[in-house]
């Protein structure tokens, strides 16, 4: 029998302290619903005492009927006052949550410097605030701020803060490494001491300033903590909070604890990516467990080994967390990478087959010229489909031109594109914030008459790299473009001696790839037009 | 007395296995030099047996006379062969390195599945390969691949692999958590056992698949490992290698080990950012210690507390690692690097001086907008000189325009530039292989009448980065340009909502910088014209 660890998600509260993270009440509702589907135990929705957006969230979230316990965040009462009159504590009660977390000082230094009150008054603030919450029959958690720094400085005072919360009636003592500076062995030792001194359920809340938040959380669980606080993708102030997307699979798959219900662990990757979309934050490609490269193989030896048995270079089956294996095609890899990619597309690939050999040689030649397919899955797919006679281009390019002009402090880019679809010529012109954006707009305009859904495809990243920069005459430019559609995103590559032409090639590939799954309409039907939501500066 | 931990950097070898990381020989030389300045003990340059680029690197790196020990990577000899005839081992010797690392199997499962040979033959491969290296008097390290997985499956066989390396004469036994699936307590236990069984120097090499690579490395050091292998920014296959930018400060500042010489730790942030620019990879804003947000405070209670004492919400002083505090609402960041830069230029800089404060504020504002001066020294120098009244632009830009056209399989770029020098208007037109090259040519043509030596200045690298790509409307493009003159090279930056305009700004800065040391001639004197030897494709 595995024992239960309670997962406390604070993406919507501590997560929003991260740089560049700003969530509307609508965003927060979407995320709460997704977290609830994943099956976390507690969802900390925000601080109703600090802003109107959070009050709105707590009102609207009720209609979602979440299974998870919703919690509100606040501080212990103000110094030299009484809990019953504390506006922030009253807001927590008004928000109607079944559980609340109060942060309170546990480090004597902070009581003196930040709070500027006496050590005794701080203990009274803690005790009385919890007594207030418990009179309202709310599950109450004490976030013991800077507990580990406090303990290292003055263990008796740090413990007395916990005892004050216990006396007030707190249900959980959550030990916080607020500054993220504590090491795993220190965490283990101090949590053990707390478990010895106080017979209470203990939680752990860590930050990633030493890149140790996950390890610190696991060390605390090993020492007896049964609640884990963290955020999806590790969002949070400075270097972020402990990343639940790493902690949960570590606890379940490696340490045999029980965190999420049933088979929900396989929703983890989708949850992480969905929340990164809502929060509008790029996910690091190499993020543990849920990143796009978490099970991506590039080395030729590695690839040939995983084709024999994926356990050779994968610590878990990616499907357990809803992720999947990817084989990157690169200069470092042998042909095994390409074969596994083509098989995944359902193409009749076979090392003994002459055609397969020709395609390999062709790809090798392209890579030698400077193409890089490892970050351009969609271009590689088009290339393979074409080679196997599995693809016909939906349009042909006849010509394009683009100009950019700066005069009297203003700058303009304009592009003209001529393409043909089934022999029918289409000639469009469009402006853009930059030449590539202008070309993108002009091509989109041309295609949208036949493929209105192309309006939902946007360029979302753009990278330029000069290759062989030492050999100037032979040098080429490689452009990598990321595009995003309704449900997925894909990457394409363009290579040319001219940066505009390389960009154009990458855009053309991106649209070709998008059209694989977009329906064509008769030209009489007018195209929908909507505001452009992608990159507009290139 | 603190004891020494040897830092083994494998950014140039294992780091390049990361998705999207592709380094030219030039890039690798730049990174090697930067790592050497930081003061790492070993720099693994690549695998001379696997590709021509790495052979070129090992040839060219000799002229840099690095203080760090350069190491080459390879595998133990092929099965059923002899070391003396192994092409890969011979290439290591030919590369002329003083040290080498050989990877060899330590997991019986891998010997059967991936290597498809007998357990005994694998031990012979290890033993004989090290004996071969030692006959050539090279410091030899055994990367015991999958050591921890191997040990968990068959401890005796894993230990016998180590013993084979020891018998062959290996100087180091490096225990690898190749799949990144091992937990810190397992690492600690297994490293202790190895230290007990074999009286040998032990290294640790971990991967981040459980977000535990840093913690695993520290656990191994606690258990007796004295060499740490990792990469800058944690680059590497799948979820990356152990991140030296977190490990080094943890070891030095928190655990009192000795890693880098003297005061070099304060170069860490600059090193991390420089290498991310060369590799053209986004640095996560919240990266521990060196990230832009690692010491950033987002308002409210935290900010008021750090203004009383920054220790309240900072686990270390950011300056110890060359980073700085940022307050996201009102910028109050550190200024030491800019001050030292200005002093080096002989400018009258002084923290108590009002003008210095204004300049700092201006630079901070530019950085907030997305400028990045770490990799654009020349732009920063112009900015400082201008602020101190030490520089007058040699020319003014009135207008420019550029167009690119593709028609009937041919592509052309043409630029028109209008500048003035001392009120004299100069109007030129030029073609180029791309729009940026055309602008560069037109501007060069205009300047060369007054400054003939400008013909010897070439653009030698060009990088484009979209910043804030998630926020499409506010997004900007940052262009970094490297230029080379007769004797030196320099870097400039341009930022704009339009990629052409950002490129133009970087080029203009580059020419301004070049003109600081180029003599002006009377216009009657004809300009020398010579073939363009720089980048022509952009």
Query: Which chain A residue has the Cα nearest residue B298?
Result: A17
Contact at CB, A238 and B473, closer than 8 angstroms: no
Q: Check residue B187 and give its pLDDT.
A: 98
- What is the arithmetic mean of pLDDT over A121-134? 98
The count of CB pairs under 8 A between chains A and B is 358
- Distance separating alpha carbons of residues B456 and B452, to the nearest angstrom: 8
Q: Check residue A62 and give its pLDDT.
A: 95
Q: How many CA atoms lie within 13 A of A123 on its CB side?
A: 15
- The string over A453-470, giving b where at least 16 C-beta atoms fall within 10 Å of a residue's C-beta and e elsewhere, is bbbebbbbbbbbbbbbbe
Contact at CB, B470 and A372, closer than 8 angstroms: no
Chain B contact set for A400 (CB, 8 A): 405-406
pLDDT above 90 (res A239): yes
Q: Check residue A431 and give its pLDDT.
A: 93
Contact at CB, B210 and A250, closer than 8 angstroms: yes
Contact at CB, B405 and A405, closer than 8 angstroms: no
**A21-25, A31-35, A412-416, B84-88: least confident range:** A21-25
**Torsion region of B102: left, alpha or beta (phi above 0 gives left; psi -120 to 50 gives alpha):** beta
Chain B contact set for A460 (CB, 8 A): 469, 472
Q: Check residue A371 and give its pLDDT.
A: 82
- Distance separating alpha carbons of residues B342 and A444, to the nearest angstrom: 49
**A410-419, B85-94, B333-342: least confident range:** B333-342
**A61-70, A99-108, A344-353, A428-437: least confident range:** A344-353
Percent of chain B whose predicted confidence (pLDDT) is above 90: 65
**How many other C-beta atoms can be found within 10 angstroms of the C-beta atom of residue A368?**
9
Chain B contact set for A302 (CB, 8 A): 237
Mutant choice from B238, B396, B419 vs A, greatest count of A C-beta within 10 A: B238
Confidence of residue B280 (pLDDT cuts 50, 70, 90): confident
Q: Between residues A307 and B121, which one has the greater pLDDT?
A: B121
In Å, how far is B221's CA from the nearest CA of chain A?
13
pLDDT in tens, B235-273: 999 999 999 999 999 999 999 999 999 899 999 999 999
Q: Check residue A532 and give its pLDDT.
A: 58
Contact at CB, B466 and A468, closer than 8 angstroms: no
Query: Which chain B residue has the Cα nearest residue A14?
Result: B298
- The string over B414-447, giving b where at least 16 C-beta atoms fall within 10 Å of a residue's C-beta and e elsewhere, is bbbbbbebeeeebebebebbbbbbbbbbbbbbbb
List of residues 6+ apart from B175 with CB closer than 8 A: B144, B147, B148, B190, B191, B194, B202, B203, B204, B205, B220, B225
Q: Between residues B210 and B276, which one has the greater pLDDT?
A: B210
Q: Check residue A534 and give its pLDDT.
A: 61
- Distance separating alpha carbons of residues A58 and A206, to the nearest angstrom: 25
Q: Check residue A333 and give its pLDDT.
A: 46
Query: For residue B424, what are the CA distances in angstroms to A367, B394, B523, B525?
Result: 49, 12, 11, 16
Tokens found for residue A189: 């030792």
- What is the arithmetic mean of pLDDT over A131-147? 97
**A175-179, A209-213, B314-318, B479-483: least confident range:** B479-483
Tokens 């490096």 — which residue?
B174
Q: Between residues A420 and B537, which one has the greater pLDDT?
A: A420
Q: Between residues A366 and A1, which one has the greater pLDDT?
A: A366
Per the prediction, chain A carries an average pLDDT of 89
Contact B230, B221 (CB under 8 A): no
pLDDT above 60 (res A66): yes
Contact at CB, A399 and B408, closer than 8 angstroms: yes
Q: What is the ipTM of this complex?
A: 0.75
Q: Between residues A358 and A532, which one has the greater pLDDT?
A: A358
Confidence of residue A22 (pLDDT cuts 50, 70, 90): confident
Residue B365: DSSP 8-state: H
Percent of chain B whose predicted confidence (pLDDT) is above 70: 91
Mutant choice from A286, A291, A299, A506 vs B, greatest count of B C-beta within 10 A: A286
**A79-93, A212-226, A511-525: least confident range:** A511-525
In Å, how far is B158's CA from the nearest CA of chain A?
16
- What is the arithmetic mean of pLDDT over B515-527? 73
List of residues 6+ apart from B136 with CB closer than 8 A: B93
Handedness of CA B430, B432, B438, B444 (dihedral sign): negative
Contact at CB, B17 and A496, closer than 8 angstroms: no
Per the prediction, chain B carries an average pLDDT of 89
Q: Between residues B191 and A520, which one has the greater pLDDT?
A: B191
Closest residue to A294, CB basis, from B209, B433, B496: B209
DSSP one-letter string for A73-86: EEESPPTTS-GGG-
- What is the arithmetic mean of pLDDT over B495-510? 94
Confidence of residue A425 (pLDDT cuts 50, 70, 90): very high
Chain A contact set for B407 (CB, 8 A): 399, 401
Chain A contact set for B461 (CB, 8 A): 466, 469
Closest residue to B180, CB basis, from A215, A243, A315: A315
Mutant choice from A425, A500, A501 vs B, greatest count of B C-beta within 10 A: A500
Contact A257, A4 (CB under 8 A): yes
**A154-163, B104-113, B276-285: least confident range:** B276-285
- What is the arithmetic mean of pLDDT over B227-234? 98
Query: Which chain B residue has the Cα nearest residue A491?
Result: B20
Q: Check residue B340 and give its pLDDT.
A: 67
Domains of chain B in start order, with CATH, are 6-279 (3.20.20.70), 357-538 (3.30.160.270)
Confidence of residue B471 (pLDDT cuts 50, 70, 90): very low
Q: Check residue B336 and give its pLDDT.
A: 56
- A46 phi, psi to nearest 5 deg: 155, -165
The kind and range of the H/E element at B252 are: none
Tokens 């013991």 — which residue?
A144
In Å, how far is B74's CA from the nearest CA of chain A?
12
Contact at CB, A497 and B433, closer than 8 angstroms: yes
Tokens 């099965």 — which residue?
B79
pLDDT in tens, B355-384: 777 887 888 778 767 787 767 889 989 998
Contact at CB, B215 and A305, closer than 8 angstroms: no
Tokens 């489909």 — which residue?
A385
In Å, how far is B56's CA from the nearest CA of chain A?
13
Closest residue to B501, CB basis, from A240, A314, A406: A406
Query: Which chain B residue has the Cα nearest residue A499?
Result: B538
Query: Which chain A residue has the Cα nearest residue B211?
Result: A288
pLDDT in tens, A508-533: 999 999 999 888 887 664 444 455 55
Mutant choice from B18, B152, B211 vs A, greatest count of A C-beta within 10 A: B211
CA angle A468, A472, A476 (to 5 degrees): 55
Closest residue to A466, CB basis, from B296, B401, B535: B535
Closest residue to A293, CB basis, from B179, B238, B250: B238
Closest residue to A461, CB basis, from B286, B302, B466: B466
- Distance separating alpha carbons of residues B163 and B406, to the nearest angstrom: 65
Q: How far apart are the first and last CA of chain B?
A: 55
Q: Check residue A127 and give its pLDDT.
A: 98
- What is the arithmetic mean of pLDDT over B426-434? 92
List of residues 6+ apart from B307 with CB closer than 8 A: none
Contact at CB, B399 and A405, closer than 8 angstroms: yes
Tokens found for residue A519: 């329906």
In Å, how far is A169's CA from the nearest CA of chain B?
26
Tokens found for residue A125: 């603030």
- Distance separating alpha carbons of residues A288 and B55, to the nearest angstrom: 33
Chain B contact set for A497 (CB, 8 A): 433-434, 536-537
pLDDT in tens, A254-291: 999 999 998 999 999 999 988 987 786 778 889 999 99
Q: Check residue B470 and give its pLDDT.
A: 44
- Distance separating alpha carbons of residues A358 and B9, to the nearest angstrom: 39
Query: Which chain B residue has the Cα nearest residue A148?
Result: B315
Q: Between residues B291 and A340, which one has the greater pLDDT?
A: B291
Q: Between residues B324 and B216, which one has the greater pLDDT?
A: B216
């Amino acid at each position: 029998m595995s024992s239960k660890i309670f997962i406390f998600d604070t993406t919507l509260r501590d997560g929003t302290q991260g740089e560049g993270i700003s969530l509307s009440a609508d965003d927060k509702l979407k995320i709460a619903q997704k977290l609830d589907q994943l099956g976390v135990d507690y969802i900390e929705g925000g601080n109703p005492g600090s802003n109107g957006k959070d009050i709105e969230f707590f009102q609207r979230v009720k209609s979602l009927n979440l299974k998870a316990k919703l919690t509100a965040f606040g501080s212990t009462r103000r110094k030299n006052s009484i809990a019953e009159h504390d506006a922030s504590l009253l807001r927590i009660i008004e928000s109607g949550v079944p559980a609340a977390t109060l942060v309170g000082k546990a480090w004597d230094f902070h009581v003196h410097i930040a709070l500027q009150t006496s050590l005794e008054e701080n203990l009274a603030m803690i005790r009385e605030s919890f007594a207030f919450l418990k009179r309202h029959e709310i599950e109450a958690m004490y976030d013991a701020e800077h507990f580990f720094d406090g303990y290292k400085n003055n263990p008796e005072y740090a413990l007395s803060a916990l005892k004050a919360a216990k006396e007030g009636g707190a249900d959980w003592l959550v030990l916080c490494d607020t500054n993220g500076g504590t090491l795993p062995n220190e965490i283990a030792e101090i949590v053990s001491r707390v478990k010895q001194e106080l017979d209470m359920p203990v939680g752990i809340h860590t930050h990633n300033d030493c890149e140790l938040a996950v390890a610190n959380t696991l060390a605390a669980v090993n020492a007896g903590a049964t609640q884990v606080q963290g955020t999806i993708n590790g969002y949070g102030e400075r270097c972020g909070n402990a990343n639940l997307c790493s902690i949960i699979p570590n606890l379940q798959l490696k340490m045999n604890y029980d965190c999420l219900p049933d088979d929900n662990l396989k929703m983890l990757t989708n949850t992480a990516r969905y929340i990164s979309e809502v929060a509008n934050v790029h996910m690091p490609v190499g993020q543990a467990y849920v990143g796009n490269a978490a099970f991506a193989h590039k080395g030729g030896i590695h690839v040939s080994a995983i084709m024999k048995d994926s356990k050779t270079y994968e610590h878990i089956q990616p499907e357990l967390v809803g992720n999947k294996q990817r084989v990157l095609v690169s200069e470092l890899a042998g042909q095994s990478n390409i074969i596994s990619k083509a098989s995944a597309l359902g193409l009749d690939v076979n090392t003994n087959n002459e055609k397969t050999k020709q395609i390999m040689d062709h790809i090798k030649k392209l890579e030698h010229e400077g193409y890089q397919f490892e970050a351009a899955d969609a271009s590689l797919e088009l290339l393979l489909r074409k080679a196997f006679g599995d693809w016909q281009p939906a349009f042909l390019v006849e010509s394009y031109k683009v100009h950019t002009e700066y005069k009297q402090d203003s700058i303009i880019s304009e592009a003209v594109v001529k393409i043909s679809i089934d022999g029918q010529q289409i000639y469009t012109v469009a402006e853009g914030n930059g030449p590539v954006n202008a070309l993108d707009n002009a091509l989109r305009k041309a295609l949208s008459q036949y493929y209105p859904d192309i309006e939902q495809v946007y360029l979302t990243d753009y990278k330029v790299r000069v290759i062989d920069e030492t050999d100037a005459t032979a040098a080429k430019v490689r452009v990598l473009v990321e595009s995003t559609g309704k449900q997925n995103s894909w990457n394409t590559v363009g290579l040319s001696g001219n940066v505009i032409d390389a960009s154009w090639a990458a855009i053309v590939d991106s649209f070709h790839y998008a059209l694989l799954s977009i329906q064509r309409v008769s030209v009489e039907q007018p195209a929908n037009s909507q505001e452009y939501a992608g990159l507009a500066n290139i």
